[in-house]
Amino acid sequence: MWGKRLAVVAISLVLTGLTTSAARAGTGVVPASTSWTSAGRGWVLGLDTLCRTANCPQLVRTVDGGTSWTRVRTPALAVPETGRLRVVFASDVAGVVTDGEQLFGTGDGGVRWEPSGLKGTVGALGFDDSGFLAVVYDGTSSRLFHRELWSGPWQPVPGVEVAGQAFGDLAPGQVSLARFGEVNRYWTRSAAGWAEQPPPCADFAATRLGTAGSSRFALCSFDPGFGDMSKELRKSDGGPFKTVSVPPREGITTGFAVSPDVALVAATGRDWSFVHRGLGEKWDTPLTLGGPPLEDLAFADARHVVLVRGGPGQEFAELYRSEDAGATWRTVAV
């Protein structure tokens, strides 16, 4: 354990010497996805407009809240025809990236990338204190895979699988796999391993998961209309999930994030995108933007939140950041 910690410290100290270039914001990278491990430390994966050949995925990182960015060695990702490039980091050095078909992991901040060896379509992607998690559809079934944070092979998690291509969502200690109106299954992890539990949402609802402290949350979205849908925020403190508040109906859900005090919902519809913010049973909408959906909504800590508006090939491709738990927002140049 101490050997691993010392190795992480050593890697962190030399990271700046192992990357290719650093500059003030203005890297030429068009954001597609973002992941932050603290208020100041974050990553953006996107397309490099300075690349001599078209469509070059490029990863950049910041250690000062987005004031400056450093280019990081990036594995040979393709540009997805559908879906998005995605990045998820669990620490300054442990992360994964995917183009939806290929999945790579690093344990040294991007100096080396290991291909996963998994065959199939990569769905939900995340991590908890046991390692990285990925839902992969292999043409027959959708299954949860696990990898240790620093290195090692991806292994299937026994029993966490459904037939067919399922929509999945992950949060620390919980996973949902569902085919709308057909299959809806949910598992939680304890010291004894993964165990199936009653799902937090109904069969005809889309499930988004969140974890804050020891509490588990689920956003259940259902009854879609023209650019809107009903939403319920549900919570479990170890027992059955119970509805604790009802977010605004505006927008089709594209993201969900929770902290101990605040819940945030990203949604889009009728050429508008929203971030709804809930304090207890009271909700408001502090961010309303025209154009493409809002993705990768996540808390870096209890106060700092990030998201990506749009992406490469869309009308907008911007990184947004909040420093007051989602009450106000500003763009961050990349």
**Domain containing residue 104: CATH number:** 2.40.10.500
**Residues 261-271, mean pLDDT to the nearest whole number:** 97
pLDDT at 229: 99
DSSP of 61-112: EESSTTSEEEEE----PPPPSSS--EEEESSSS-EEEESSS-EEEESSTTSS
Question: Could you tell me if residue 130 is inside a domain?
Answer: no
Reading across the β-sheet that carries 114-115, which strands appear in turn? 86-89, 95-98, 103-106, 114-115
Is the pLDDT at 24 greater than 50? The verdict is: no
CA 323 to chain CA centroid, Å, is 19
Is the pLDDT at 243 greater than 70? The verdict is: yes
**pLDDT tens digits for 115-145?**
999 999 999 999 999 899 999 999 999 999 9
Average pLDDT, the chain: 92
pTM above 0.85, yes or no: yes
Question: Could you tell me if residue 75 is inside a domain?
Answer: yes
Do 320 and 328 contact (CB within 8 A), yes or no? no
Q: Which domain holds residue 103?
A: 1-115
Going by pLDDT thresholds of 50, 70 and 90, the confidence category of residue 25 is: low
Is the pLDDT at 75 greater than 90? The verdict is: yes
pLDDT at 7: 39
* pLDDT greater at residue 10 or residue 191: 191
Question: Could you tell me if residue 268 is inside a domain?
Answer: no
Residue with tokens 């992607």: 125
What's the CA gap between 288 and 286, in Å, rounded? 7
pLDDT at 150: 87
pLDDT at 172: 97
Domains contained in the chain, number: 1
Do 263 and 245 contact (CB within 8 A), yes or no? yes
pLDDT at 36: 99
User: Dihedral of CA 153/158/163/166: which sign?
Assistant: negative
**Residues 278-304, mean pLDDT to the nearest whole number:** 97
**pLDDT tens digits for 30-71?**
999 999 999 999 999 999 999 988 789 999 999 999 999 999
Cα–Cα distance list, 66 to 43, 92, 175, 286, 330 (Å)? 9, 15, 31, 22, 12
**pLDDT tens digits for 212-226?**
999 999 999 999 999
Question: Could you tell me if residue 28 is inside a domain?
Answer: yes
Which pairs with CB-CB distance under 8 Å and at least 24 residues apart come from 274-278?
A: 274/248, 274/250, 275/307, 275/326, 275/329, 276/247, 276/248, 276/250, 276/251, 277/325, 277/326, 277/327, 278/233, 278/245, 278/247
pLDDT at 314: 95
Is the pLDDT at 18 greater than 80? The verdict is: no
Question: Could you tell me if residue 179 is inside a domain?
Answer: no
Cα–Cα distance list, 300 to 69, 119, 205, 252 (Å)? 17, 31, 27, 24
Token output for 145: 């895979």
Do 296 and 306 contact (CB within 8 A), yes or no? yes
**pLDDT tens digits for 182-212?**
999 999 999 999 999 999 999 999 999 999 9
pLDDT at 10: 38
Helix (H, G, I), strand (E, B) or coil at 265: strand
Rounded percentage of the chain residues whose pLDDT exceeds 90: 88
Residue 281 C-beta-side C-alpha neighbours within 13 Å: 2
Question: Could you tell me if residue 78 is inside a domain?
Answer: yes
Question: Could you tell me if residue 35 is inside a domain?
Answer: yes
What's the CA gap between 251 and 153, in Å, rounded? 39
Question: Could you tell me if residue 24 is inside a domain?
Answer: yes
pLDDT at 193: 93
